[in-house]
Amino acid sequence: MSRKSKTEPAKELSPLALQLIASRFKALSEPVRLRLLNILMQGERTVGQLVEASGSGQANVSKHLAVLRGAGMVGTRKEGLSTVCFISDEIVKDLCEMMCSRLREEMESKAAALSSDQKD
């Protein structure tokens, strides 16, 4: 592989690369889509189950699933009448957990700051 000696000095990314990376992050930038992924992390679900579990409308869920499929994060297969959905890229879990624990840290440090900041 092309590993340099050190930590790699943060390469310049081409406009195309930036565009592609941005579109991946964009797929993750919507609460409903994150909710769908969060549900799918527990295992495969049909579209109908996702509709019920997410509380969003059927058309909306279908559209969001199309986005996630387009980003290569969710896969589907037909099973009778239903469409079974599953996470097709495990990176999603890592990314979300990373973001999640980072948020928790921030929250906790802010909470700590608030409680030690209690002047009158």
> Residue numbers of the site for its own copies (CB under 8 A)?
9-10, 12-13, 15, 17-26, 28-31, 33-35, 38, 41-42, 72, 89, 91, 93-96, 98-100, 102-103, 106
Q: How far apart are CA 100 and CA 34, in angstroms?
A: 12
Return the one option of its own copies, DNA, none that residue 65 interacts with (CB less than 5 to 8 A, by type).
DNA
Q: Which is nearer to DNA, 58 or 109 (CB)?
A: 58
Residues contributing to the site for DNA (CB under 7 A): 26, 30-32, 46-48, 51, 56-60, 62-67, 76, 78, 80-83
Q: How many CB atoms lie within 10 A of CB 93?
A: 14
Nearest CA to 37 among 77, 88, 78? 88
Q: How far apart are CA 38 and CA 107, in angstroms?
A: 21
